[in-house]
Amino acid sequence: MRLTNVVAFCLGDIPSARVGIVEVMKQLQKEGLIDFHFYLTAHLTKEILSEADIIISVRSADSYELNIIKECKKLGKMTIYYMDDDLLNIPLYAASTDYFNTEMIRKNIISIINHSDYLLTNNIHIKEKYEPFVINRAVIINAPALLINEVTLNEHSENDNETVKIGFSGGIDHKNNIERFLKKPLTKLKHKYQDSIAFEFMGAEPELDGVDYRFIPYKTNYEEYLKEMRELHWDIGIAVLPASDFHASKYFNKYLEYGAIGAAGVYSNVEPYRFIVKSKINGLLVENTSDGWFHGLSCLIDDTVLRKAIANNSRTHLEKEFTVSKIANDCITELNELVTFRAQQCRPNQFNLNLGSKELLASKVINIFKSMGYRAPGYLVKKIIKKISKK
């Protein structure tokens, strides 16, 4: 008997896709339970779609992606939408706000979910908010801690010169939060501890009033991202978030990453970190005040025993509850159709779609002009400059 053919697609090979969907589905394939393939959206063909039983779209929002989901649903495929952010509630300061907060893109997202049998997410707030839009139901699945397969505990050791390395990893949008909550406490910490501490920031490049730090550009390619994380030897990891509905709907990725690389995490005392962190056991929860962050970080700088205990406890927790195999098993327990569903047979010429890289680019440009109007040229110029600067 043939296996269920599951096809997932995303505009880019981003960490959200890898952590939330791809590696879990690959584990199910490894166990002989499904046949799985992941494609960049631009590489999808009618032949690929015709052979699929289940289609998983990752963070889709463009009209091109909406048309794919509509056609797949019409031809009897099971459709699943994966969302790890509250895409209808993107903050105004976020780099993607001009795109996601347009009426057209918002309507596309709702329509994609409307044509999806299931919504997969990692957060209870997203489930509760978006479940009314989906055909069947929303399903909560934890994301695995992939780095535990990449980093062994004996690789992490404190520096010979006893410098405590304090790091942050996250997207560029976190720049505002770091400056808002951490500028004063980090300045005080550097004044207090001087050369016995060092700061590193990956992704976000904040202005910290003269506090020196090593900046590590964010890696959008997932393999490069894993390689960079493997080479970090942080003693303390910073996870700062404001208290807001949008941020409460995020996943506690920092907990998975810091615990995996052997760092003791210090977390804002807000959701989603309250979901997973038990303060002074597997992390440290602090209030989002200058004193809260200063005293929390000072505590772990001074208390080597507590710092190492938190790092070890979080790593042990990840190895028990957040392995790929554990999450894959949870996934089919919550959504058994992943291994049992079979779609009706269809032919490639039944898909009323124009697919390809050029067609996708044209759709994206048209979407931007239709949704943003006179602001579209400026937005496109910024995107082009950003891509050129990365190269």
pLDDT tens for 43-62 read 999 999 999 999 999 999 99
Q: Kindly report each contact of residues 330-337 with a partner whose C-beta sits within 8 Å and lies 24 or more positions away, as own/partner.
A: 330/141, 330/142, 331/24, 331/28, 331/141, 332/28, 332/33, 334/139, 334/140, 334/141, 335/118, 335/120, 335/139, 335/141, 337/54, 337/78, 337/118
Q: Is residue 209 within 8 Å of 183, Cβ to Cβ? A: yes
Instruction: For residue 209, give both structure tokens.
Output: 């009033």
| 203 torsion bin: left (phi>0), alpha (psi -120 to 50), beta (else) | left
Q: Give the amino acid at 149.
A: N
What is the reported pLDDT for 159? Answer: 44
Q: Is residue 50 within 8 Å of 346, Cβ to Cβ? A: yes
Over its length of 391 residues, how does the chain's per-residue pLDDT go in tens digits?
A: 799 999 999 998 888 899 999 999 999 999 999 999 999 999 999 999 999 999 999 999 999 999 999 999 999 999 999 999 999 998 887 777 888 888 889 999 999 999 999 999 999 999 999 999 999 999 999 999 999 988 876 544 444 457 999 999 988 889 999 999 999 999 999 999 999 999 999 999 999 988 999 999 987 777 888 888 888 889 999 999 999 999 999 999 999 999 999 999 999 999 999 999 999 999 999 999 999 999 999 999 999 999 999 999 999 999 999 999 999 999 999 999 999 999 999 999 999 999 999 999 988 888 888 777 777 777 777 766 565 555 4
Q: Tell me, what DSSP letter sits at residue 28?
A: H
Alpha-carbon span 39 to 65, nearest angstrom: 13
What is the reported pLDDT for 229? Answer: 85
Alpha-carbon span 197 to 235, nearest angstrom: 10
Q: What is the CA radius of gyration of the chain?
A: 22
Q: Is residue 275 within 8 Å of 252, Cβ to Cβ? A: yes
Instruction: For residue 53, give both structure tokens.
Output: 């039983």
Q: What are the residues whose beta carbons fall under 8 Å from the beta carbon of 297, sequence distance 6 or more?
A: 166, 185, 189, 236, 238, 266
Q: Give the amino acid at 131.
A: E
Q: Tell me, what DSSP letter sits at residue 150?
A: T
Instruction: For residue 147, give both structure tokens.
Output: 């780095």
Q: Show the 3-state SS of 251-298.
A: CCHHHHHHHHCCCEEEEECCCCHHHHCCECCCEEEECCCHHHHHHHHH
Q: Is residue 64 within 8 Å of 33, Cβ to Cβ? A: no
**Pairing between strand 214-216 and 137-140?**
unpaired
Q: Is residue 163 within 8 Å of 198, Cβ to Cβ? A: yes
Terminal C-alpha separation, the chain: 47
Written as one string, the DSSP assignment of 101-140 is TSHHHHHHHHHHHHT-SEEEES-HHHHHHHGGGSSSEEEE
What is the reported pLDDT for 156? Answer: 47
Alpha-carbon span 141 to 83, nearest angstrom: 11
Q: Is residue 197 within 8 Å of 166, Cβ to Cβ? A: yes
Q: Of 159, 131, 313, nearest to 233 (Cα)?
A: 159
Find the angle CA(152)-CA(154)-CA(156) to the nearest 5 degrees: 85
Q: Show the 3-state SS of 31-66.
A: CCCEEEEEEEHHHCCHHHHHHCCEEEEECCCCHHHH
Alpha-carbon span 224 to 1, nearest angstrom: 38
pLDDT tens for 184-199 read 999 999 999 999 999 9
What is the reported pLDDT for 153? Answer: 66
Alpha-carbon span 38 to 40, nearest angstrom: 7
Instruction: Give the rounded percent of residues in the chain with a pLDDT score beyond 90.
Output: 76
Q: Of 327, 306, 322, nearest to 260 (Cα)?
A: 322
